[in-house]
Amino acid sequence: MTLSALLAQREADGRPIRVGLVGAGKLGGTWLAQARRTPGVHVVAVADLRPDHARLALARAGFAAERCAADDVSEAARLGTTWVGEDAVSVVRAPEIEIVVEATGSPAAGVRHALACAATAKSLVMANAEADALAGPLLAERVRQGGGVYSLANGDQPALVCALVDWARASGFDVVAAGKGTRFLPRFRRSTPETVWADTGVTPEQAAAAGLNARRYNAVLDGTKSAVEMAIVANATGLDAPPNGLGFHPCGARELPRVLRPEADGGVLARAGQVEVVSSIERDGAPVPDDLRHGVFVVIAASSRHVATAFGEHGVATDDSGRYAALWRPAHLAGLELGVSVASAALRGESTGEPVAWRADVIAVARRDLAPGAQLDGEGGYAVYGRLVPAEVSRRLRALPIGLATGVPLVRAVAADAPVTLADVALDEDAEVVRVRREMELLFG
């Protein structure tokens, strides 16, 4: 049966999927709007450190105020209403909850909630890219051992890229490259939360009126978010991280097979089988025709002349040899498509992408010259940005992961654009998130 038919059956049987949402920010709030009108889904609880913010997100999504007045999770599950509060762990551990959507964006919170899911046999849709990039392989293994499903969030670019890779491999194609588009220039590495709006086409006044988060936009602009998302794809698919980091090559959709092919064949890839990100603007700032700023793609190779001929017969974009071809999706709907992951995990016991190995890492790199005593402020802040590297490079450098680079003091100077290493910082080795990261490195390294 299709997912929609299975959902309709659960609705008809009076047994909707009981979901707990942790984190009612932009992504979580967007999903709520779809969850409200999806048959067979009951949002039993929403936990957020700001309960009033969660209630506002529910109201925007069309939930009536009286529906969100349950005294506890048990009552909400029984009456078909929604409980709102700040105690996320109690939501995760509640026996009435079948599946948890983690959308906080905090690595430490994501780790904590994933372990709680594992301890209570809950399935988890990890819509927290930062937590997955930091320790996803271990968290997924723990959730599986606990009897649940660990899944990337459909609609986010990593899950959509994974789906394209899976389609290609299931169809018998070799995957040459897979990834996403973004808007990037090298100088964006110097961007800060104060300067970010000048390069996004949004005025500070407009940003304030819309409630836009400067740090989150800065992480997108400076390439950190792309690095995080491509680490997730590499760890879920087994594709390689580029040896010298993401290239952000200016490239339109129909040029993908020509640009993203191995260097030996005239392309930019060190080897076939890599993740990569393309830019929607040229290095001089000019727009790239037919850009993929919001899209995802896969580049595949023909195994024979017969297959290459079929590419041409079906109108597939290819390079001049006809051997390399690309398919893409021009946009993604973060949050709006997340329900596919909820339904897939709950009704089929299947994920829409999950980490299986530690192939790639995102390390913290100094945004400017940093002096001893400086406090690192994490993704999208003033001190560091994230760079994608192969996992073995991260191990060799003893690099600080970007997911551990918040609230950490420097004990040694670090030059601009140099990786921050573990020897450069005073890290709290007793913190849960640090211990989990260390365990992940040990088991998957």
CA distance 360 to 230: 8
* Residue 251: predicted pLDDT: 98
Concatenated DSSP letters of 335-355: TTTHHHHHHIIIIIS--S---
Q: Residue 295: what pLDDT?
A: 98
Q: What distances in angstroms separate CA 131 from CA 148, 229, 252, 400, one per listed residue?
A: 18, 11, 31, 15
Q: What pLDDT was estimated at residue 211?
A: 76
What was the pLDDT predicted at 149? 98
Q: Are 179 and 276 in contact (CB under 8 A)?
A: yes
Backbone angles phi, psi at 370, to 5 degrees: -115, 135
Could you read off the pLDDT of 81-111 as tens digits, one per residue? 999 999 999 999 999 999 999 999 999 999 9
Q: Sorting pLDDT into bands at 50, 70 and 90, what band is 430?
A: very high
pLDDT-derived band at 10 (thresholds 50, 70, 90) equals: very high
Burial class of residue 210, CB neighbours in 10 A (0-12, 13-18, 19+): exposed
Structure confidence at residue 427 as a pLDDT band (50, 70, 90): very high
pLDDT in tens, 202-238: 888 888 887 789 999 999 999 999 999 999 999 999 9
Gap between the Cα atoms of 363 and 386, Å rounded: 5
Q: What digits encode the pLDDT tens for the residues 12-71?
A: 999 999 999 999 999 999 999 999 999 999 999 999 999 999 999 999 999 999 889 889
Span 327-383, pLDDT tens digits: 999 999 999 999 999 999 999 999 999 999 999 999 999 999 999 999 999 999 999
Distance CA 226, CA 182 (A): 8
pLDDT at position 207: 84
* pTM summary value: 0.96
Task: Number of helices (H) and strands (E) in the chain: give both, helices first.
Answer: 16, 16
| Helix ranges, 171-213 (H) | 204-210
Which of 86, 142, 95 lies closest to 115 in space, CA to CA?
142
Q: CA-based angle 100:104:108, to the nearest 5?
A: 100
pLDDT given at position 204: 86
Domains defined for the chain, CATH in brackets: 3-155+335-348 (3.40.50.720), 158-184+223-329 (no CATH), 360-444 (3.90.1210.10)
Question: Mean pLDDT throughout 414-440?
Answer: 97
Is 55 within 8 Å of 30 (Cβ atoms)?
no
> Is a pLDDT exceeding 90 seen at residue 146?
yes
Mean per-residue pLDDT of the chain: 96
